[in-house]
Structure formats: C-alpha cells, structure tokens
Amino acid sequence: MKTIGIIDYGMGNLGSVSNACRFLKLDSLVLEQPDQISQCRALILPGVGAFKDCMTYLNQSGFAEAARSWIDSGRPFLGICLGLQILYEGSEESPGTAGLNVFPGTIRRFRLDPELKVPQIGWNRVRQVRPKCPLFHNIPNDAFFYFVHSYYAAASTDIPTAGTTDYGIDYTSAVWRDNVMAVQFHPEKSQHTGLQVLKNFSSWTEKQGAVS
C-alpha cells in the first residue's frame, strides 16, 4: 500500500497535519521533492500563509506542475485552508498571481460588518450541502470545525461546493469534485471531528486504489 504524501512548501501547518496522521496511524510521508510523489496513493496540501508565497514556491519547486498532473490523472487530492484557495484561478490577496486553476473563480477577502473580526479565528459550523461527500462520513451536519482565514471562496453554482459556513456571508468551506477535495477549516486542529475528516480521506483513498 502506497503512502499519503503531505506536500512541504516551506511554510504553514505541515507539522500539525503530519502529527495528526501519525496519531491516526495513517501511513504518511512529508514530500520535499516532486519525484517523491511516485511513492504516494494520495496527496495533501496543507496551508497557512500568503497565496503568492505559496504559489511561488510551488512553481519554483516543480510541485505546481506535479500537483496539476496528479489531479488531472484522477488520483486523490486534499487541500486544507490555503490548500483550498490555491485550487482556484487566483486571489484578491495576490492580484496577478495565478493559482492552480482547478476550480473557476477568484478567492475574495472578507468585507464584513465591524462586529465581525477579520481574520475569522475560531470555531464555526459547516453545513453539509452534499452529505454524501466522503469527507463527511460519520460526521453530523452543522458540526463545528476550527477556522483561521481572511479570504474565502464564494458560494457559486460554478463551484462543486460540498459544505458552506456562515460568517457574515455564506461561503464555501468544503469542495468536492471527482478526485479533488478541499476544506477551508483545519481538520488537524478540529479535535475528534477534524480527525474523522482525515480518517475519512484516508479510507476513501484506499477504496479508490482498490478500484483502479
């Protein structure tokens, strides 16, 4: 059985995701070079940081091209927080910087009433728009997850939204299309429910491997 690869792009919450996988006894490997991807059955791109910095490193290291090829081949991919945002065409955080362009649209900055602080930091609910999404197995609707972000993916019929969250506006907090899944929240920081998301992703990738 091949491992789950966690892409290291030199910033963010790499350690906490790796530790969560270790706690769950999931076979995982931190990827420092794109050629290590051949050892993997699935990829996770965790993220905390700036859109431009992330994409610059992914492009320079070769991980951007490798990730696009991986996704195009139909193999399992999970983006977390910034790892969700870079799947889009671009972001208001970094005008002129292209994302991976897996999903249409531009990531937006929160523009909210003064009583709502930006960034959103803390626990919030996720409403399951598509309860059959494999990430939500054994997770109740409106479960709480931990968020830290100033930018968001707008809810749209052009985007394969799996879950939404209300923070002054209703925005996309989980997406799922074929082999690609991504969440705006941090499962590795969301206690039991978040760990269930990572466990669900691993179980789903094993099933995908058995089918292929």
Active site residue ranges? 81, 186, 188
Q: Mind giving me the DSSP string for 9-29?
A: -SSSSHHHHHHHHHHTT--EE
Residues 49-71 as b or e (16 or more Cβ within 10 Å = b): eebebbbebbeebebbebbeebb
Name 179's Cβ contacts closer than 8 Å, sequence gap at least 6. Answer: 71, 74, 75, 76, 77, 208
Q: Which helix (H) or strand (E) holds 61?
A: helix 51-61
Phi-psi region of 185 (alpha: psi -120 to 50; beta: other; left: phi over 0): beta
